[in-house]
């Protein structure tokens, strides 16, 4: 059985929205006819449902005995699987796997592999559509580099999209991280890029869907 809760990043927003809608409906109840109140109540309920759905936080636990396996850090659709030059940190060619999250996907991000965070930095930038290739280097983004116990390094990039205006990253330099832990959260449409060594075995293809913290997307050559 799957348990779903509201992510902590959305609790204040939902609480504030609920209070505003209650006050609005109270005002309408006092000043207008019941038919207006009924319509506004339906609209309010739909709005609350949308925000609760967006900030949903499904409880997922995966047991992986093989430390070379990499799980998807996000729900979404694979939009890129290709070798590219990664110039921000590695300065060489890497395999890029990109997951695009629509506004209807879960927007919590998970740690994809056990290891130690050796870099975590936030970059200000533009807010172009997250599915565009240049969003990886020009949009607002956070970069996290994780080193596994076998000294293999992978880079994750949380990218804000056209609607997203806030990236939250829980990974900090020097912190040990594990599968089943949250890496962060991106609000309202976004993308996650993962950069692997060239000898990594990739299990996903463009167009496939991923489930964060469940779908196995790669095997590192440890």
In angstroms, the Cα distances linking 139 to 97, 129, 130, 132, 214 are 17, 9, 8, 10, 27
Can you tell me the distance from the alpha carbon of 108 to that of 184, in angstroms, rounded to the nearest whole number?
6
**Residue 190 bears catalytic tag:** yes
Q: Among the options 135, 142, 190, 209, which is catalytic? A: 190
Q: Which DSSP category does 66 fall into?
A: -
DSSP state of 133: T
Q: Are 77 and 190 in contact (CB under 8 A)?
A: no
Are 55 and 187 in contact by the 8 Å Cβ rule? The answer is no
Q: Cα(75)–Cα(133) distance, rounded to whole angstroms?
A: 19
Token pair belonging to 72? 């998807």
Centre a 10 Å sphere on the Cβ of residue 98 and count the other Cβ atoms it contains: 26
115 bridge partner residues? 177
34-54 vs 8-31: helix crossing angle, rounded to 10:
180
Identify the DSSP state of 187.
Answer: -
Pick from 131, 107, 132, 117: nearest CA to 54: 107
Show which residues are catalytic.
Answer: 190
């Amino acid at each position: 059985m799957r348990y779903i809760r509201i992510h902590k990043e959305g609790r204040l927003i939902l609480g504030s929205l609920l209070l505003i809608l209650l006050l609005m409906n109270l005002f309408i109840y006092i000043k207008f006819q019941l038919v207006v109140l009924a319509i506004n109540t339906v609209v309010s309920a739909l709005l609350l449902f949308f925000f609760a759905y967006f900030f949903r936080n499904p409880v997922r636990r995966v047991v992986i005995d093989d430390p070379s396996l990499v799980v998807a850090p996000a729900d979404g659709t694979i939009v890129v699987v290709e070798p590219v030059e990664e110039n921000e940190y590695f300065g060489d060619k890497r395999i890029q796997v990109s997951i695009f999250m629509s506004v209807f996907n879960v927007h919590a991000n998970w740690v994809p592999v056990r290891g130690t965070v050796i870099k975590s930095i936030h970059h200000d930038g533009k807010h172009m559509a997250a599915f565009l290739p240049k969003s990886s280097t020009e949009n607002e983004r956070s970069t996290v580099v994780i080193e596994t116990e076998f000294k293999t390094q992978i880079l994750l990039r949380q990218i804000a999209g056209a609607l997203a205006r806030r990236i939250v990253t829980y990974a900090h330099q020097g912190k040990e991280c594990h599968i089943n832990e949250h890496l962060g959260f991106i609000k309202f449409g976004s993308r996650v890029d993962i950069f692997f060594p060239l000898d990594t075995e990739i299990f996903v293809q463009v167009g496939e869907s991923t489930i964060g913290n469940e779908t196995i997307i790669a095997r590192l050559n440890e």
